[in-house]
Chains A and B, each alone.
Chain A
Amino acid sequence: MVGLIVGGLANGAIYGLLAIGVVLVIRATGVVNFAQGEFITLGGFAYLISISIHANPLLQLAFVLVAGVAAGLVFFVTTEYLLKGADHLRILIATLALSIIVINALRLIFTDVSQPTPPWLFGERAVNLGGNVVSSNTFVILVTGLTATAGLYAWFQFTDIGRAVRAVAENRQFAALSGINVRWMLAISWIAGAVFTGLAGLLLAPVVSVYPTMGQTVLFKGFVAASLGGFDSIPGAMLGGLTLGVAESLLTAQVGGGDLKDALSFAILLLLLLVRPSGLFGRRVLRRA
């Protein structure tokens, strides 16, 4: 039971990081990014490459972060410049196209083979938790996920740039009138969204190994986590992710069969939309603008 919960929390932290990325992008651009899962995949591949050149853990992290920054910039340029003036529907479809392009480009380069990676920082180690043996990677995932969330939250609350990003998300026009460089803040939102989700790639890679559709597989979980969090706050998204992770872990243990997870998340999403559409941790219902 403890093992199930801890395992669920670890999965949940990954969903949470994905959800944070989704929320950052949606708040800044008003669009659900259907390529958010590919930030995980790119993070995973960056980690894989860093391991193959025997980089130290700090350099490994740097690889993943740089991949996130680059991916975020590409998406920012595509949506803000190439698709200038396009409506939400078209931008949304463009993110889907980008997702398929990334997956298939990786397929061409790295093939479909899953490539196992050792866990980040401590390698393969087991921790005894009151009789339950849990892998050390589980704790790395949890601690990294929670630290990153807390850091991002603090950055949003207490720094000028963080506040400016929030102001742009709230109202672009007013933000521009108060002298905020809206373009820059949108770029920062995209980059932060990609970096935090890319981090999830580094954490997920040792669990599922690295392959081109590794991110696409968890994308929907990220959406459900973000919905649980109400689509409007960073801590809410992480809490949503943890809740989903634990619920999934406990319920699939009851029913049996990991392949049921997608159907389960869908059931949770429908239930949520029926009972509490503003999310478990959200304050207001997002309505069509």
Chain B
Amino acid sequence: MRRLSIALLAAAIAAAVSTQFPPYQQYATARIGVLIVVALGMNVLAGNAGLLSLASPTFMGLGAYGVVTSMTLWNLPLLVAAPAAVALAWGIGWLLGTISLRLSGFYLGIVTLGFLLAFQVVLQRGGKITSGYYGATAPQATFFNYDIAPETWAMIAFALAAGASVLVWSLTRSRIGRAWRAMKYNELAAEFCGIRPLYLKTSAFAVSAALAAAAGVVYAFLQGAVSPQQFGINNSIDQLTYIIVGGIGSVLGSILGPAVLETAPELLRGLGEKRQLFFAVTLLFVLVVAPKGLSGLTSSSWAWLRRRLPAFSDPLESPRVPRLVRRLFRDEIAPAAASLATVSGPIRRPDPRPVSTTGTMEELTFDHVRVVYGGLVAIDQLTFSVARGSLHGLIGPNGAGKTTAINALTGVARLAHGWIRVEGTEFQSPQHGVARTAMVGRGIARTFQTPVAVPDLSALENTLLGLHTLIRGGVVTGTLDIRRVRQDDRRARERARETLARVGFMGDVEAPVAGFALGELRKIELARALVSRPRLLLLDEPTSGLESHAAMATINGLRRLQETAEEPLTILLVEHNVPLVFAFSDRVTAMDRGTAIITGLPDEVRRDPEVRRSYLGSEMIEVGAARA
């Protein structure tokens, strides 16, 4: 509960600070505090999950009206009414999210617009419950016979803003926060980490709804009254402006946005009717000129300072280091050292291991598999087996169906006919399919032809994504950082570091991976796949784009991984670099036009006349044609 204590401490300090303001400033800043909480919720949704909701004022209104109505009409005490109002918003958020997030992302925008309009209708026509057009007065709230004064509500608003900032910061760094960013960046890759996009998007929406409702509760008492006009479309635009101006996806931005935008009109008195125009023009201006908002400007000026101030700078970046030395180190020495670390041990051609032909030793079997895309038959009658613990190469010319085979196994492409068995039991067939999100749980991990590493997460966090299903911590427990979750997290981090070291990653594990070289990204991806200790690893062209010694080091590294693994690790390697496959694989399957030509020892496959004709032959013909 360390983070909860930090949040409570921050809240207490903020509340204490608020008592030092004169009354009007206290009210005005408390209002900003409320808006910060709403902005934090919108930022969880927009910045982490990449979704837009227009209904943040509506959820705020649900909280405000919920608490006022239930206290006035049904005489509920504040301590029951407030959590109930927040829970109601959470529930409605969950419901609307489940309905609209199954579909394309823009439906959430449309549905939340409708919700906002429908809520206005309900407020206007709600009779006694909502008191219609002019709204209702907030009742006197008591806390165990003690009347809560307006100044106390200001303190509460301050405390809520400070506490929520710490908790949201904690949430975005938790397992759930990582999963949100992964899903926003690449949904398919996230699914292979066991991340369920619908569930996570819905939970992001529910979190933002609950935060807005909590803000609404405080807002009702701070204003002393609720009315429909406080929760309309214009408030929605205001709140969007806060997070854009502040900066999408940053807690600092959620604080800066409302603070700056609510203070500026106070200073520019007489803005009056033109307030909305001012907000909209500011919004568009910031979108065009500084898409990352104030927090983006803050971090880039910080980076600029770091470059200028010698105390912070990287010694290599100093102007006193000759450019040649810098280039030599950056481009030659560091990568060479990195690849040496991977090789670590002589590269040697392994002896083919004894591979049993009985079914029990087969890790993976393709049995007459057919996959059809529209009218195109991508693979047909594909049959081959992969022995447990082996390195199995899958080669073939472009369009042979290698990637489709992996897609069929991992639930990306549906089987039209045939069976895929893992350890002898049916895994994929036209009738029965294992979902992508279940792959990690079944001990299967894969990489992609173009490596997928979330740019704003560090190498360590990217690797941790692979452990998503194996560590605990939901929205609440992850935020509060309770001991069980913290222990899981510490162990997971250790394992991720270990795995990154095993694949020879040499960079800074804590730095965001944006801008890393291809070779490093591939290592991160391999680490993410390996960290869950899969029994079957599927690699889609892990060496493409790498220079020859790095490619060799990669494949040699795979062999070492198998040798050092505690449990047998089977690797299915789709690869264009045929000499490498022949040099390092236990068995090779050659594919052409959607089917397997031969499966056997590398030498058998190399000598096979059909393979030569269809694959190696065509290459020679191309070379010949190029010469002619």
Contacts and interface: CB of A to CB of B under 8 A. Distances in A.
A100 B279 contact: yes
B115 A288 contact: no
Contacts of B114: 220, 223-224, 262, 265-266, 269-270
Contacts of A265: 114, 117
A89 B107 contact: no
Interface in A189-246: 216, 219-220, 223-224, 227
Given A104-B276, A270-B111, A259 B121 contact: yes
Nearest to A273: B99
Given A89-B248, A94-B287, A101 B103 contact: no
A83 B109 contact: no
Interface in B105-123: 105-107, 109-111, 113-115, 117-118, 120-122
Interface stretch (A26-34, A139-147, A154-162): A26-34
A105 B284 CA distance: 14
Interface string B210-225: 0000000000000000
A97 B279 CA distance: 8
Contact of A93 (B50, B124, B234, B240): B240
A29 to B, nearest CB: 11
Given A32-B109, A259-B124, A287 B103 contact: yes
A53 B103 CA distance: 48
Nearest to B238: A100
Nearest to A91: B287
A93 B281 contact: no
Contacts of A89: 46, 50-52, 248
Interface in B364-415: none
Interface string A85-99: 011111011101110
A223 B110 contact: yes
A97 B233 CA distance: 12
Contact of A83 (B103, B110, B122, B287): B287
Contact of B122 (A94, A96, A263): A263
A285 B105 CA distance: 12
B56 to A, nearest CB: 13
Contacts of A223: 110, 113-114
Nearest to B277: A104
Contact of A273 (B50, B111, B120, B241): B111
B52 A93 contact: yes
Given A93-B244, A288-B105, A83 B288 contact: yes
Contacts of A26: 106
A93 B54 CA distance: 10
A260 interface: yes
A130 interface: no
A108 B276 CA distance: 12
A80 B232 CA distance: 30
B598 interface: no
Contact of B291 (A90, A107, A220, A288): A90
Nearest to A32: B106
Nearest to B95: A270
Contacts of A216: 233
Contact of A286 (B104, B115, B120, B241): B104
A3 interface: no
Contacts of A83: 287-288
Interface in A249-289: 257, 259-260, 262-263, 265-267, 269-270, 273-274, 277, 285-289
A267 B118 CA distance: 9
Contacts of B115: 266
B63 to A, nearest CB: 20
Interface residues of A, number: 48
A82 interface: yes
Contacts of A263: 117-118, 121-122
Contacts of A260: 121, 125
Interface in A55-100: 78, 82-83, 86-90, 92-94, 96-98, 100
B308 interface: no
A92 B113 contact: no
Interface string B80-97: 000000000000000000
Contacts of A285: 103
Contact of A97 (B51, B187, B283): B283
B102 interface: yes
A107 B117 CA distance: 22
A257 B277 CA distance: 32
Contact of B99 (A219, A224, A257, A274): A274
A34 to B, nearest CB: 7
B320 interface: no
Contact of B280 (A97, A262, A274): A97
Given A262-B118, A273-B100, A93 B276 contact: no
Contacts of B102: 273, 277
Contact of B287 (A93, A105, A259, A289): A93
Nearest to B109: A32
Given A89-B50, A223-B113, A96 B105 contact: no
Contact of B277 (A32, A100, A288): A100
Give the residue among A88, A89, A286 with the most B Cβ atoms within 10 A: A89
B46 A287 contact: no
B607 interface: no
B237 A96 contact: yes
A100 to B, nearest CB: 4
Interface in B262-308: 273-274, 276-277, 279-281, 283-284, 287-288, 291
Given A89-B52, A97-B284, A105 B277 contact: yes
Give the residue among A83, A104, A260 with the most B Cβ atoms within 10 A: A104
Contact of A92 (B109, B273, B288, B291): B109
A99 to B, nearest CB: 8
A96 B274 CA distance: 17
A269 B276 contact: no
A274 to B, nearest CB: 6
Nearest to A85: B291
Given A89-B51, A286-B103, A288-B103, 5 more contacts: A92-B106, A98-B284, A262-B120, A265-B114, A287-B104
Nearest 6 interchain pairs by C-beta: A100-B280, A266-B114, A104-B277, A266-B118, A262-B117, A286-B104
16 contacts: A86-B291, A93-B240, A97-B241, A97-B281, A97-B287, A100-B234, A100-B283, A101-B281, A107-B273, A263-B122, A265-B117, A273-B102, A277-B103, A287-B103, A287-B104, A288-B104
